Amino acid sequence: FISGAAGLIAHGLCPRARDYMFASHRSAEKGHRAVLSHLKLRPLLDLGLRLGEGTGAVLAMTLVEIAAACLSDMATFGEAGVSDREDEQVLASEPS
């Protein structure tokens, strides 16, 4: 909720700042839903956290890091040797 309040201030000073924000989670604090709504941010997580120590941010950053790793490090179907489904169907229908 604290970072959301900071986000509101940043958005008030420079509306384009919102383009560089993401909501890690929806806090259980009453005002946080209003903050997210005003900033038009959809949180990555909604775990009912309200510890105020950045726990939601730590969890969300792990998701962001995993997503980035999938995009940058995951093999393509060709690199992984995954065959084309149509080829498999043709081969399966041919007599042995």
Task: Pick the catalytic residue from 29, 53, 79, 86.
Answer: 53
Quote the CA–CA distance of 49 and 28 in Å, as a whole number. Answer: 6
Which of 43, 65, 68, 69 has its CA nearest to residue 56?
43
Q: Which two tokens stand for residue 15?
A: 């509306």
Give the amino acid at 5: A
- pLDDT tens-place string over residues 56-82: 888 899 999 999 999 999 888 888 888
The pTM for the full model equals 0.65
- pLDDT tens-place string over residues 25-35: 888 888 889 99
Query: Would you call 45 helix, strand, or coil by DSSP?
Result: strand
* Domain locations in the chain as residue ranges: 2-93
Catalytic residue status for 79:
no
What are 69-77's contacts with CB under 8 Å, separation 24+? none
